[in-house]
Structure 1
Amino acid sequence: MPNPVVRFDGVRFAYGETDILRDVSLSVVPGQVVAIMGGSGSGKTTLLRLIGGQLRANAGRVEVDGEDMATLSESALYERRKKLGMLFQFGALFTDLSVFDNVAFPLRERTDLPESMVRDLVLMKLQAVGLRGAAKLMPAELSGGMARRVALARAIALDPRVMLYDEPFTGLDPISLSTIGSLIRELNDALGAASIVVTHDVAESLAIVDYVYFLAEGRVIAEGTPDSVRESAHPFVRQFVGGEKDGPLPFHKPAGPYATDLGLEDGRHD
């Protein structure tokens, strides 16, 4: 087993007195696509921000390629981010730049490559996502699925060691969703990268990932391969995978007796 390219070791992160992540440990090795699943507010996006260095852990270590992200200087962090690719929720394309210029942006910003080479690399990345023919279009002329694919081409422009995906399937029709899922798997395999996918989409994710971590209340409460997840008897995993209304995550927020709130006692209205 190769050394992890991303590793969390006993990580705690809090805003003030409010813990977001509590003693989180996980790892991702090159070639793996790993899903992070959990309910809203469980700490999934915070985990991505710790990997990117936007946030720093209060305790424990967040390592990328063996480097502790909390100890990097601003210049070292900038260099490290050159090896990270990020697909934001809904793509986050620059609306005033063409498709070509969106994909070219990280190449022009972070390298000194001649424009002829930038052109070749942009067309190569667009070809990889099936949109070389859309190079001259503006983001407003793209469908949601096409915009997400352009954003993916931009994210892989620098051949990152680590790819981060924040809810990549949100708002997509079934065809676009399946296309993005396939591209995540194919591009990861082609790059030999490590990919981390934060998602609520259980079916599509289990079809493409190698491993899954489940977060709840800031902790890793379950983990396993897609097959073990599908067969899991863990109450939270069963509720999440099955989309059940009630379980460890209750439908009703704890409250006092309903009849009391309605002003009812012994079946009579006061």
Structure 2
Amino acid sequence: MSAPLPAEDILVDVSNVDFAYDKRPILSGINLRIPRGKLVAIMGGSGCGKTTLLRLIGGQLRPTGGQIRVAEHDLASLSRRDMYRLRRRVGMLFQFGALFTDLSVFENVAFPLREHTDLPEDMIRDLVLMKLHAVGLRGAHKLMPNELSGGMARRVALARAVALDPMLIMYDEPFAGLDPISLAVVGQLIRKLNDALGASSIMVTHDVHESLEIVDYIYFLSGGKVVAQGTPDEIRASTDPFVKQFVNAETDGPLPFHFPSDDYRKTLMEVRP
């Protein structure tokens, strides 16, 4: 595994974090670090707490234990005003894009600029066209979301996520529902924009093979815990049963097919009234 980084090189530091909905535990003792300028993937089976972890880092939820620091700010100690100020420096690409359906492509990308800045309209116009040009869709700025393909919509959402040149970009299943070509295009854009902006990125995804081509580091979650981590090369070479099952899409392994329940045979043999 890679050597630990100095504290000043860490943008997001998640330390011993627990989280539960009511009394149902979701995350337990989570430790992970997101270095400045790096693209980090969080992987794991459905329901293991990946999206919940994104919400905790974004300050939408508060942990029931542990600490989360973003840009050296302890999220638990921030006032609402300071939290909103910090969020302006964070971009978010939601699953399936989540574009405003009644706004054009241009207006979707312009929205965060108008919401969070006092820039004049001519400057907003130039910035929007620059962001759309970066994702290859400057020529589509007049289109409405219902006129876009799935891949185009995801690229517009990506342009909107980076409109304010964020220090941190979070992606929730950015490849969901995309065809192989669109998936590759979006993956390369995520990598190129991260490097061009000098940002840090956290990507929650199930797409192992595309992620291994673009990310710097990977954390695997299972049962609400970090069960494996490493660089793409370390993950490819791993003999860990969980990693092998997940990377190779094997049906047998530590991740069970059945949700925990009573003994099946015993249940069938129970005497019914």
The CA deviation at 1:71 is 1.2
The CA deviation at 1:253 is 3.7
The CA deviation at 1:263 is 5.3
Cα separation, 1, equivalents of 2:202 and 2:99: 20
Q: Show the counterpart of 1:32.
A: 38
Q: What secondary structure is seen at the aligned counterpart in 2 of 1:5? A: strand
The question of 1:197 aligning with 2:211 is answered no
The CA deviation at 1:86 is 0.2
1:228 to 234, 241, 255: 234
The CA deviation at 1:96 is 0.3
Q: Show the counterpart of 1:107.
A: 113
Following TM superposition, the consecutive aligned residue runs of length 4 or more in structure 1 with deviations greater than 4 angstroms are 254-264
1:184 to 190, 194, 201: 190
Q: What secondary structure is seen at the aligned counterpart in 1 of 2:17? A: strand
Gapped regions of structure 2 (runs ≥ 5): none
Cα separation, 2, equivalents of 1:81 and 1:257: 48
Q: What secondary structure is seen at the aligned counterpart in 2 of 1:113? A: coil
User: Which residue identity does 1:184 align to in structure 2?
Assistant: I
Query: If the length of structure 1 is used for normalisation, what is the TM-score?
Result: 0.95
User: In the TM superposition, what whole-angstrom CA distance separates every residue of 1:33-82 from its partner, at most 9, and x where no partner exists?
Assistant: 00000111111001110111100111111111000111111111110001
Q: Which has the larger radius of gyration?
A: 1
The CA deviation at 1:31 is 1.3
User: In the TM superposition, what whole-angstrom CA distance separates every residue of 1:1-33 from its partner, at most 9, and x where no partner exists?
Assistant: 552111101111111211111111111111110
Q: Percent identity?
A: 66
Q: What secondary structure is seen at the aligned counterpart in 1 of 2:9? A: coil
Q: How many residues align?
A: 264
Cα separation, 2, equivalents of 1:262 and 1:12: 37
Alignment of 1:1-270 (within 5 A): 1=5, 2-255=8-261, 258=264
Q: Report the RMSD for the aligned CA atoms in angstroms.
A: 1.4
User: In the TM superposition, what whole-angstrom CA distance separates every residue of 1:116-135 from its partner, at most 9, and x where no partner exists?
Assistant: 00000000000000000000
Q: What secondary structure is seen at the aligned counterpart in 2 of 1:252? A: coil
Gapped regions of structure 1 (runs ≥ 5): 265-270
Deviates more, 1:189-198 or 1:244-253: 244-253
User: In the TM superposition, what whole-angstrom CA distance separates every residue of 1:122-180 from its partner, at most 9, and x where no partner exists?
Assistant: 00000000000000000000000000000000000000000000000000000000000
Cα separation, 2, equivalents of 1:199 and 1:192: 21
Change (3 A) 1:173 1:259: same
The CA deviation at 1:254 is 4.7
The CA deviation at 1:196 is 0.3
Q: What secondary structure is seen at the aligned counterpart in 2 of 1:119? A: helix
Q: Show the counterpart of 1:267.
A: none
